[in-house]
A = this chain, B = another copy of it.
């Protein structure tokens, strides 16, 4: 089985393309110098490759054990977590006032890919804390921050977000969990939450649950939901929250997915009463980007695995003549169709990395204290691009995982090669934190049509400005022309759906998934064009050292434009098919 190697060069290439160290200076993260970033990346790479990656298959095989409310994580998980905390990783991108190291959130985002590729199931334990930290930082009182945020930042404790209930996932307005006020200002929480990742485990001494619940006098539906802090241990004593069972899942076996029973558990209101869902939205973007990272991690891991196999396995002769005359057959990487699969994974991975880092930059900028045109733009683009990144990158991640398996032929189906685990682990990514359909509805309904395409227009305008600028390098012209056309087509398509939707709202839901995928291919084309521009620019320097790498980046961009981007044409024609053939059958005629 191939062991994960951090794609350090590719990471630095994207950071350079984005002028990342300048960005860090701009946002006031003065300590994030080139040298510092390089050192952090190196250390993270070492940890992920040496400690986390070897536990990935172990985690899948052993899974978590549940026994009378307690969860035991797989062999080695706890030791790795302790070391992770000792090395200070949880606090890397947290604010100094809460014990953090003050590095930009975008850098945490970069590191997340490494942990995710090495061992996603493990990485979720610390990853899930972010939702709780985010909520505490934005909505907690000073005392709540002191009490709960600090041990989360240090990694001493972990956190969860308790949203889903058996009868509701997407539609949180249906939730039943109750919060009864006590005289001391605390609340008694009653209800059952399901699908709580890292809801119970043996890695840390305490777990802080952020729970959505309804007060007795709150209205029904989504406007009557509030947020509560419910710690597993309260001043060292057991609270009345217990893990009822863990789910048996297709993958991510190393991560405990818990049923959490709140049986009069003591909780504390955080944020304004009945505004729980609004407070959640601040966390949603983060969680979606983190899930997009899972897609990227999947692509990278699947690519590395299948590439290693394609350079080792021999079968048949190349159609253009023998490549290894001394061997009984050629390496399968000599076959065009195997290359199509490898390059698809590679182009997805490198393009998605650029998109995810770009989102990280927007997060940093949007959070700046002084709000101006730049922060507004970052916030708007973050809103527009986050559902695209979440759904497109996870869908393309699943495709990459399946292609990785496909390169292995029948061996891909056998557990020991590790490829089928990637497929199983990745499969959750298009479901949790909002399914692909939900992201698509958010994109088309809320982020595009509800502002009459204004933000999209701003974004496509930016693409067009870039295209014009990039044409000063003549080799960029084919990319730029294609991209300008596409960005105009994107706007036109949006307009057409918008007009149809005025007559029939179902048109939005009927078109949204293919619209999102179309948008994803277009956005990735923009990412790739920027990387090609960056590579051409680097090659113009006579002292350029990594010539071959830059040439290969341009070649991968060419592959993307020639062999993947045309998928937009099928997506466009499918979505223009409209909603009539979807809705004409009555439900019981199906």
- Spell out A's residues near B (CB within 8 Å): 164, 167-171, 173-174, 195, 247-251, 307, 311, 314-316, 318-320, 328-329, 331, 333-343, 346, 398, 402, 405-406, 409-410, 412-416, 420, 423-424, 427-428, 430-432, 435-437, 440-441, 504-510, 512-513, 548, 552, 555-556, 558-559, 562-564, 566-571, 573-574, 576-585, 587-590
Contacts and interface: CB of A to CB of B under 8 A. Distances in A.
Nearest to A408: B431
Nearest to A504: B320
A223 to B, nearest CB: 14
Copies of this protein in the assembly total 2
A565 to B, nearest CB: 9
A398 to B, nearest CB: 8
Contacts of A167: 314
Given A247-B414, A552-B585, A590-B307, A427 B436 contact: no
A577 B584 contact: no
Contacts of A336: 506-507, 509-510, 579, 582-583
A166 to B, nearest CB: 9
Given A335-B509, A336-B579, A571-B570, A406 B430 contact: yes
A548 B440 contact: no
Contacts of A573: 566, 569
Contacts of A338: 437
Contacts of A559: 581-582
A247 B435 CA distance: 33
Given A416-B248, A509-B319, A566-B570, A331 B587 contact: yes
A315 B170 contact: yes
Nearest to A170: B315
A582 B427 CA distance: 28
Nearest to A558: B581
A302 B406 CA distance: 22
Contact of A437 (B334, B406, B556, B576): B406
